């Protein structure tokens, strides 16, 4: 017999993102806060060791540890990679108590507001995102085809996405950020419950911001920053930029314009994760996206319904 599966909610994949873990404690004390849709929800603190020391990670970004070849490499034993293996062993799709859907809760220091992050174009993920966009109007950042950033947590579950909330400084808890996280999780559970009952209706279109690439700060030969983000770009996530628009400024006040590849000159692109505090070490000052409008695919709803039908029921849904 196929085992009924849970929905996994991960808080604190990054140890210095404090809002979702704080909510997690609340949900553990009052589980009914997440039970109104009748789904069996598993709650887990993503990276307890990093959370304990209020750092993003211990040795390696946990949200870059889930590449299959890395997980399988027995010569690699960084603490965060071991935690990734442990999360899969305890809550993965093949675990004793399996989860088939994962909601990975993050916060950003960038002025992106609340958004969803998808990795690739799996139909079930797109359906879940479309349901959430229809419900909450959230923008979607589709991260794909980026060889320098791989191994994201949600990719190892059959369906999953990141709920990204901000802006909030690292290490800081803010009521509004917690509220937005709570709303995002509740809405996702409502979409999954509707899919389980065969009652999910998706909007006709999905608006996605597709990853084009990332820009690093201009740097001196020794690697130190030669310029910083242009003040006109600070806090302007999602707002279209064109080739030549100022993106950096050096200490003498010299502006450095956006240089787009020839195939994008004349187009507008939308910046995301602008000056994100966590991405300095990754050499990312901002990422660029192209806004696209996709008709919702006929296979999306089927894919999500198939997964949702395998989720356990916890009493009758309201």
Give me the catalytic one of 32, 135, 164, 281. 164
- Active-site residue flag, 164: yes
Based on the shown chain and the rule CB under 5 A, indicate whether residue 106 belongs to the binding site for Zn ion: yes
Based on the shown chain and the rule CB under 5 A, indicate whether residue 122 belongs to the binding site for Zn ion: no
Residues of span 6-35 touching Zn ion by CB under 5 A: 14, 17
Q: Does residue 63 have a known ligand-binding role? A: yes
Q: Give me the least distance between CB of 102 and Zn ion, in Å please.
A: 14
Burial (0-12, 13-18, 19+ Cβ within 10 Å), 55: middle
For residues 162 and 301, which CB has a smaller minimum distance to Zn ion in the complex?
A: 162
For residues 161 and 200, which CB has a smaller minimum distance to Zn ion in the complex?
A: 161
* Long-range Cβ pairs for the range 29-36 (8 Å, 24+): 33/182, 34/9, 34/185, 34/186, 34/189, 35/314, 35/315, 36/186, 36/317, 36/318
- The stretch near Zn ion (CB under 5 A) out of 21-29, 104-112, 129-137, 211-219 is 104-112
Q: Give me the least distance between CB of 46 and Zn ion, in Å please.
A: 9
CB atoms within 10 A of CB 292: 12
Based on the shown chain and the rule CB under 5 A, indicate whether residue 64 belongs to the binding site for Zn ion: no
- Strands 159-165 and 115-119 come out as antiparallel
For residues 50 and 233, which CB has a smaller minimum distance to Zn ion in the complex?
A: 50
For 166-234, strand residue ranges (E) read: 205-215, 228-229
Q: Give me the least distance between CB of 81 and Zn ion, in Å please.
A: 17
Cα dist from 131 to 8, 15, 203, whole Å: 18, 29, 7
For residues 91 and 106, which CB has a smaller minimum distance to Zn ion in the complex?
A: 106
Note if the bond before 154 is cis, omega within 30 degrees.
no
Residues belonging to the binding site for substrate are 56, 63-64, 164, 279
Active site (catalytic) residues:
164
Q: Which residues bind Zn ion (CB under 5 A)?
A: 14, 17, 106
């Amino acid at each position: 017999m196929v085992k009924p599966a849970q929905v996994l909610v991960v808080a604190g994949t990054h140890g210095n993102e404090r809002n979702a873990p704080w909510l997690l404690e609340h949900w553990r004390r009052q589980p009914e806060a997440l039970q109104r849709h009748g789904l069996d929800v598993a709650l887990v603190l993503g990276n307890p060791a990093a959370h304990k020391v209020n750092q993003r990670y211990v040795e390696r970004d946990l949200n870059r540890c889930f590449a299959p070849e890395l997980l399988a490499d027995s010569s690699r034993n960084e603490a965060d990679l071991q935690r990734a293996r442990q999360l899969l062993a305890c809550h993965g799709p093949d675990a004793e108590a399996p989860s088939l859907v994962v909601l990975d809760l993050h916060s950003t220091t960038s002025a992106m507001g609340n958004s969803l992050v998808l990795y690739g174009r799996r139909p079930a993920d797109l359906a879940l995102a479309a349901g959430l966009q229809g419900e909450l109007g959230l923008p979607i950042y589709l991260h794909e085809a980026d060889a320098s950033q791989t191994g994201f947590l949600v990719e190892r579950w059959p369906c999953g996405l990141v709920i990204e909330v901000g802006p909030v400084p690292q290490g800081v808890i803010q009521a509004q950020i917690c509220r937005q996280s709570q709303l995002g999780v509740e809405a996702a559970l409502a979409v999954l419950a509707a899919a389980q009952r065969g009652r999910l209706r998706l909007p006709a279109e999905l608006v996605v911001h597709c990853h084009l690439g990332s820009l690093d700060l201009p740097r001196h030969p020794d690697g130190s920053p030669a310029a910083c983000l242009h003040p006109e770009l600070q806090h302007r996530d999602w707002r279209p930029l064109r080739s030549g628009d100022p993106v950096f400024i050096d200490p003498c006040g010299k502006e450095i314009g956006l240089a787009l590849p020839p195939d994008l000159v004349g187009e507008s692109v939308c910046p995301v994760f602008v000056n994100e505090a966590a991405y300095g070490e990754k050499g990312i000052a901002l990422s660029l996206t192209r806004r696209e409008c996709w008709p919702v695919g006929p296979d999306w709803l089927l894919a999500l319904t198939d997964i949702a039908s395998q989720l356990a029921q916890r009493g009758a849904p309201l």
